[in-house]
A and B are shown apart, each in its own frame.
Chain A
Amino acid sequence: MRTQAIDWAAIAPPTALALGALLVLVVDTFAGPPRSRRAALVPATLTVLTVVVAAGLAARLWHAPHRTFCVVRPLQGPAPCSFVVDRFTLVFWGVALFGTAVVALLGTVAVADGRTPLGEWNFLLLSSATGAVTIAAARDLVTLVVALEVVSLPAFAMTGLRRGDRRAAEASVKFFLVSVISTAVMLMGVSLVYGATGSVFLDRIDAALAAGGVVRQVAVVGTLLTVVGLAFKVAAVPFHMWVPDTYVGAPVAVAAYLSVVSKAAGFVGLMLVLTVGLGAFADVWAPVMAVLAALTMTVGNVLALRQQHAIRLLAWSSVAQAGYILVPFGAAASSARVVGASMGYLAIYAFVNLGAFAVAAVVGTRYPRQRLTDYRGLVRDEPGAGWALAFALVALAGLPPGVVGLMAKVVVFDAAAGPATWLAVVMAVNVAIGLVYYARWLAELFRPSVTEGGSRYDVPNGVAVAIGMTFTAGVVFSVFPGWLLDPVLGVLG
């Protein structure tokens, strides 16, 4: 009897992340509580190093796709594999690893506060990142669901980890309940799809659906339930209720993680399930996704209009942005274009949004209430953070000088115009609505400040690096958008 061969090179990056997580935990246990501010930075440093190592291991896989955990003796046809590292996977790994590193750096804001055990926090972050990395390589429904849970479970704990913070605890519980329900719904859908098609492997499901002879009603219901489960993860309307409270209650770094890495994991799940597994059912799910996209962006933008709380505004804005990312699904002309456009938008949204959260984390050290008026005069008082936030906001709005954000919108419009012109028009209207609140915030940044005097912020080094990373990426990709979009669109069509 042959045993299953394992391609260690393919699973090296997630393994490295998991080992790094354990290392952080062990080092933290032996080192005890940090005695100085510098010592408190050790876990974050280890996390970033782990991410760099994982990225290095991943970069070696670019040239040829790696497949592992394959069925040993398939009954017919080629052996389906559970874990595939192709360029799609690697593009997402780039986004997820970048996001994880930035969030780890953002976590150092909590050093001054002293209420968050940073060792455990970074352990949880790396654990969650392991799940995020795994999901992009998952090619069967079981691995996918398990990976999605690996993303979520540590995130609940990260949300509520700050000692003595009741709002964080409440946010954590709310997030946990919603997430558990969504997983249950999704499992139901997955089991129906499995029942209808007889396989959990995405390519087998696709083949079965294409060949026909499947109980269509069962498969359709399974598809819809799976979509609903994933819609909770990406916070698509009407499954978005948990987002604002959770983001506001959680530490800013965790909100950043939820809005970028965890959400991106949900989108990857959607891409894989819908385009690889259920591609033959595009006529079923595309209209559903189109309606979801239109609802998500409209509700997100309209509710963001009245927000005075910076994080709540970012929460609603991230709901709206999720709507834009869903647009290509709604216009599923061909599966390749869906993946390319969504992934392109996701990649750009990731570092732009992280940039906004990074600055919000800095301002939060002085103004925990996070009112928009607290940002008044930021450009003059703290030019580094102020300009970075101004850039992130115009990029989120999709206007120059944030050309990169504009190109993200171009990519999505390109996918939607034609197959679903109405959706593109809805999105155009939404872009204009979104501008209202981004512009309002932007105006605060440039107003003369209330108090005189220079820098009022004690910006931790880690956060400064995070802001620098996101800002530099934004500026470079604004001048040369091709450097980012050519590989992404080139790989994914």
Chain B
Amino acid sequence: MSAWLLNGLVAVPLAFAVLTWLLARREAAAVGLAVLGGLVTLGWSVAAVLTKGPDVDVPWIAQLGVRWHLGLDGISGPLVLMSTLVVALCLVSLVRHDPGCGGRAGLAALLLLIEAGVLGSFLALDMVLFFAFFEVALIPMWFVINGWGEPHDETGRRRAATRFLIFTVLGSALMLVGFMIVRSQAGTFDIVQIAASYRPSGAAGVTAAVLVGLGLAVKTPLWPLHIWLPDAHSKAPTVGSVVLAAVLLKLGTYGFVRFWMPVTDPGWRLLAPFVAGLAVVGIVYAALACLAQTELKRLIAYSSVGHMGFVVLAVATFTLGGVQAAVYASVAHGLITGLLFFLAGAIKDRYGTGDLARLSVLYGKVPRLAGLFAFGAMASLGLPGLAGFWGEMLAIRSAVYPSSGLPAPTYTVLAVVAAFGVILTSAYFLALMRGMLQGAPAAVRPVNEDVPSIELATREVAPGTTEAGALRRDVDVMEWVTWGPLVALTLLLGVAPGLLLGPVSEAARAFFGGLR
């Protein structure tokens, strides 16, 4: 029964992706089918998480020692649920919203394909299997950006898509080399056995840990390997950005917890502090970059780099609290940044631009949408009581008390710098809200007839006229359905973090053995 559930978690979205593609000529039916597929997968994942059963573990390529080993525990469970939810919501959003270009059916099929790859990666407990699933999502994502991205900039979106592909493949190929070295040391690809018994040592062990870390750092992304991310986000369609931020980046953070920690020895004086240092540099760098951004989606993309920095910092402490913080922050980031990208897409659709210089007074024009954006921004900057707070707080706390083998003073300094990054994060989100949502339009900005959004911002538009237009409406029912779950879960996890932290610590103790 359990094997059925686990294999199904990969097979169901895959099957729906194929069916959706086959039905592509009848677009409405295909999108309906895809939504059904997303919901079935969501339900399936809930059932799989609730049913605790044995892993699936059968030989796949016997001669290489590669096994089809899938399992679900407290570390992967929350990420699986978050991913299925976000993808389902993306599919729901496609019902009303047509990004144009290649038709919705193809896009929906690609999203389901990505979901299959992502779920496979979260479930895989064999290094080669993880790598294979990790790669499954790439080609579909490339198609999403290349085919459905920014409609006015074909060369730009092609460049962004290809850059995304090359960076990720380079990273994952290096990661594979690292896995192979680990295998030659530990004698197995099975990460459960490796976590239990492998003690990395020597030059080969260090090389392997560096290569695996490098590959995951590209995906996460960790500063300075993040340069593919802002372009990919700003050129991708809304659902593409949401999936990329909420789901695909989590492959990197999850990989750090599941596959990097077991092959790295916290006793090495240099590696873990170095990684933690890069993470903290990323936090500060991303915050500063955000302060200078003029485009909404790029700003949110850079804020992702900062949030991922907290996750990696937590991982690099090699403590139970660090693992908790990493998983928690990953899930929270998926919910909040997913929501923010949805909202940014909605704003871009309504006003035809994401240029921050041209957007203002959204509180006055689309009050509910603006209110939701304010909520998302507050959650993202770490307001206590919302999900974002716990991830950052726990990450900093774990950095203050790192694993015993690590240099505590260094980590204390890093924690302080990271806390400073929190302040900068607040600064740019507040500046964003001040500039985009609030404002005194007529006094500040001159009327410019060429720019419709500013015209709107500076003049009263009678409701019902063409200018107020159908596109400029406030949040509609479908959007409430799409965004509501994200808002609700952000609140829920904010007030009841124990829901997540308990299972994570239990699973982390079981998986890592001696972790404190």
Contact = CB atoms under 8 A, between A and B. Distances in A.
B111 interface: no
A446 B173 contact: no
A421 interface: yes
Given A409-B173, A431-B173, 4 more contacts: A400-B139, A407-B132, A416-B180, A435-B169
28 contacts: A400-B133, A400-B135, A406-B131, A409-B176, A410-B176, A410-B180, A413-B177, A414-B183, A417-B183, A418-B180, A418-B181, A421-B207, A424-B177, A425-B177, A428-B170, A428-B173, A429-B170, A431-B173, A432-B166, A432-B169, A436-B166, A439-B165, A440-B162, A446-B147, A485-B61, A486-B62, A486-B63, A488-B63
Given A400-B135, A400-B136, A417-B184, A432 B170 contact: yes
Contact of A482 (B61, B136, B139): B61
Contacts of A431: 169-170, 173
A489 interface: yes
Contacts of A406: 131-132, 135
A403 interface: yes
A383 B59 CA distance: 34
Interface in B54-78: 59-64, 66
Nearest to A493: B63
Interface string A383-413: 0000000000010000111010011011101
Interface string B74-97: 000000000000000000000000
Interface in A435-493: 435-436, 439-440, 443, 446, 448, 481-482, 485-486, 488-490
B138 interface: yes
A273 B185 CA distance: 31
Interface residues of B, number: 40
Contacts of B13: none
The prevalent SS among residues of A at the interface is helix
Interface residues of A, number: 38
B307 interface: no
Interface string B100-111: 001000000000
Interchain residue pairs A-B with the least CB separation, the first 6: A417-B180, A428-B173, A432-B170, A489-B63, A418-B184, A400-B136
Contact of A417 (B60, B131, B177): B177
B418 interface: no
Interface string B176-207: 11101101100000000000000000001001
Contacts of A428: 170, 173-174, 176-177
Contacts of B135: 399-400, 406
Contacts of B158: 443
Most B C-beta atoms less than 10 A away, residue of A403, A406, A427, A488:
A406
Given A400-B132, A443-B146, A446-B143, A410 B64 contact: yes
Contacts of A432: 166-167, 169-170, 173
Nearest to B138: A399
Contacts of A410: 64, 66, 128, 131, 176, 180
Interface of A: 394, 399-401, 403, 406-407, 409-411, 413-414, 416-418, 421, 424-425, 427-429, 431-433, 435-436, 439-440, 443, 446, 448, 481-482, 485-486, 488-490
A490 B63 contact: yes
Given A424-B177, A443-B158, A414 B64 contact: yes
A486 B166 contact: no
Contacts of B131: 406, 410
A482 B59 contact: yes
Contacts of B128: 410
A355 B165 CA distance: 24
Contacts of B174: 425, 428
B389 interface: no
B285 interface: no
A411 B64 CA distance: 8
B511 interface: no
B209 to A, nearest CB: 13
Given A400-B132, A439-B162, A481-B60, A421 B142 contact: no
Most B C-beta atoms less than 10 A away, residue of A401, A417, A421, A443:
A417
